[in-house]
Amino acid sequence: MLGVIQLEIGELEAAKQTFLTLIPPNPSAPSPPPPSAYLYLAQLSDDNPQEALQYYQSAVDIQMAQLKGKERAAGTTASNDDDAELRRNIVRALIGMVEIWMDPSYDLCFDPAAEKTCEDLLNAALQTDSGNTEALQALASVRLSQQRPEEAKQCLEQAWTAWKDFESDDIRLPPIPTRLALVKMFLELELYEPALLVLSGIMAFDDQEVEAWYLEGWCFFLMAEHAQEHGGIFNELTWEQLARDARDCLEMCKTLHLSQEHPDVPLLDHVRELINSFYIDAMLSVFRTPPQLCINAAAGSPWHNLGTLSFYGPFCLGGFSGKLPFIYGSTSRYSSQDWKAWLGSCGTYTPDFYWAEPILEGYFNSLSNALEVRIRTRSVNDKITYAAEMQSVLRELLTETSAHRMELIIIVLIAVEVVICLIRDGPELWHMVTDKKTKDSGKELKEAF
């Protein structure tokens, strides 16, 4: 218990020394030592993979002995809840060993025996607990690294089938990190629909999960890319619809990341990169997709292409209708006199009667209304982000331990209060003082005479 408390408060080295007292060769270690001590030590030995593997193996050996002892005592294969939990613990330890062998940051990953060792460990895990979802996911990860995607897909589908019909609060569900790992492999195999179903279950249980919002946004982003490459439609959704869904999820992920002060900084960087890419792609797509504009534009500039609307608008507005609403901004300037004059100065003639067409005017008005809604939505998102950042700054100020800095803050606050009082009450005070002096001087003059 002491070691666990030390882990929770961040005293990792002290926790490691505490757990070492529970295993041989420490003379006070219990017999047999608790397997949990070995498991904790394995996780605390991330800088020494060989030592971590030894700790995991010791935990597996102890738990295997406990399981066989229970089976002999029962005269058959143990199957109660306690034994099921013991089997799951053994599988997790074996998977921990597989993860060390597959970790590219360790030299073990390049060992010729790495592949066979991982196969043996996973076979032992599935023999201990057949159908264990975590073992099947680990096997799928190995199959992906071996460039065997079909076998990996079979393992993932088998793992998901075991619990996909459970309610979101069912205790038999795998832990959220395990389900998030499943989603990542689904995305790698381009299995987007199962990935979204798993994510919906996670967010039904916890809608503040940052990584779930990130993966959902990333999934919609990949679906949008797939739609662009295959005719613009994916599962009856246009790429623009998918891109909007992706952006909304990523915006929510960014807001939660900032408000929770999530430690995964690379995740936030990738989210910002994806969000920025939406605006760039949206701007470019307006000018590159309608073929009539590209063919009939005499110059390559996008502004010149806009001028050709006077002749080719009836053919191209259908292509624009799915793209312009995706851009923040107002299109009312396109029908203004200044805009027409500017187009004319660029060498493009646009007849006045065309801009007066009721159909075109109504079309741009509807676009403008839709874009104004998006502007307000973006403004609200920006305010939420700003509030989250301000919350972080205030939290830093409140947790400041330096007395000197706190004194400076207090002095500044008092100074600000004094300035506010002077601005608010200064004229009245000045009037009172000067009026009193005038009365006093008048009184002195009267007494003198």
DSSP 406-440: HHHHHHHHHHHHHHHHHHHHHHHHHHHHHHHHHHH
- At 329 the pLDDT is 36
What tens digit of pLDDT does each residue of 279-310 get?
655 544 544 444 433 333 333 333 333 333 33
- At 393 the pLDDT is 63
The sign one gets for the Cα dihedral 430, 436, 442, 447 is negative
Whole-structure pTM value: 0.61
| Distance (Å, whole) CA 436 – CA 55 | 87
Residue that is written with structure tokens 């002290």 in the block: 14
DSSP 64-84: HHHHHHHHHHHTS---SHHHH
What tens digit of pLDDT does each residue of 212-251 get?
999 999 999 999 999 988 888 888 888 889 999 999 999 9
Q: Which of 165-169, 256-260, 361-365 has the lowest mean pLDDT?
A: 361-365
Q: Is the pLDDT of residue 443 over 60?
A: no
SS (H, E, C) 36-50: HHHHHHHHCCCCCHH
Treating both helix axes as pointing N-terminal to C-terminal, what angle do 176-188 and 210-229 enclose, rounded to 10 degrees? 10
What tens digit of pLDDT does each residue of 70-116 get?
877 766 554 566 688 899 999 999 999 999 999 988 889 889 999 99
| Distance (Å, whole) CA 275 – CA 182 | 24
- At 410 the pLDDT is 73
What tens digit of pLDDT does each residue of 348-406 get?
434 443 344 455 555 556 656 656 656 666 666 666 676 666 666 666 666 655 556 66
**Region for residue 231 given its phi and psi (left: phi exceeds 0; alpha: psi -120 to 50; beta: otherwise):** left
Model confidence at 336, in pLDDT bands (50, 70, 90)? very low
Higher model confidence: residue 31 or residue 216? 216
- At 416 the pLDDT is 74
Model confidence at 269, in pLDDT bands (50, 70, 90)? very high
**What's the whole-number mean pLDDT along residues 140-165?**
93
